[in-house]
Amino acid sequence: MVFGDTQALAVFAAASTALILMPGDNLFLMAQSMLHGRGKGLALALGLALGNTAHTVAAVLGAAVIFQTSAVAFTVFKVLGVGYLLFLAWRTVREFGGTGGGNGDAAGQAGGGGGVDDGGRAAHAAGRRSLFFRGLLMNVLNPKVSLFFLAFLPQFVPQGAAAPGVYMASLGGVFVLLTALIFSAIVLLSARIGALLRRNPAVKRCLAWLTASVFVALGLRLAVAES
């Protein structure tokens, strides 16, 4: 049994839950779920959650130390992350923030017949994949998350643990699971609200600009981050 101390696990779960609920990715997730709906929001939540797996592996293998000791590596990943966030902001405004275009949902509902329905389902599936990889890349390209895992996970590994690496990996798995559960709850609530708001095209454009603003804010926060 990896977790011999259930009290320590409970403390870790409580600390992790508090950190997951802090403003940041969850605000972005709320805006995206209100804009895109439940299915795509859940795909995004899964991508964001699974991105923590890469940071867990990096912490276990000690690879995250590179970001702590190499300013060049940290800067490269930071620039990539900022650039990707700004690109997402631009694309969101282009797709949803205009006066008429970018209404993929309506396109999937227009017309009748099986061909249109099949095309709509294929487009929706492609959209879910896109949102999944968007969340995954957003998380993986943030070197601050790797440093967080490197500092956070070892605090809950008991002294004298027979396999500290396995213990850290297990804690990371718990963190990923908690993230997926909490983010999914946020998606379900936000998507229900968004379904009402998206009926108004003007409100939908506002949601798009709000989402883009969150992207920019996250990019600026990452841009000023230091290793």
CA distance 148 to 159: 20
Position 4 pLDDT exceeds 70 = no
pLDDT score of 178: 95
Residues whose CB is less than 8 angstroms from the CB of residue 172 and which lie 6 or more positions away in sequence, other chains included: 52, 53, 55, 56, 57, 59, 60, 149, 153
Position 198 pLDDT exceeds 80 = no
CA distance 201 to 96: 10
3-state secondary structure 123-182: HHHHHHHHHHHHHHHHHHCCHHHHHHHHHHHHHHCCCCCCCHHHHHHHHHHHHHHHHHHH
CA distance 68 to 85: 22
pLDDT score of 80: 79
Sign of the Cα torsion 38, 41, 46, 52 reads negative
pTM for the model stands at: 0.70
CA distance 215 to 90: 9
pLDDT score of 136: 93
The pLDDT confidence band at residue 67, using thresholds 50, 70 and 90, is low
Yes or no: say if 20 and 143 are a contact pair by the CB < 8 Å rule. Answer: no
Q: 211 versus 20: which is more confidently predicted?
A: 20
Q: 5 versus 61: which is more confidently predicted?
A: 61
Which tokens hold the place of 141?
């390209």
Position 175 pLDDT exceeds 80 = yes
Q: What's the chain's length in residues?
A: 227
Which tokens hold the place of 205?
């454009």
Yes or no: say if 211 and 130 are a contact pair by the CB < 8 Å rule. Answer: no
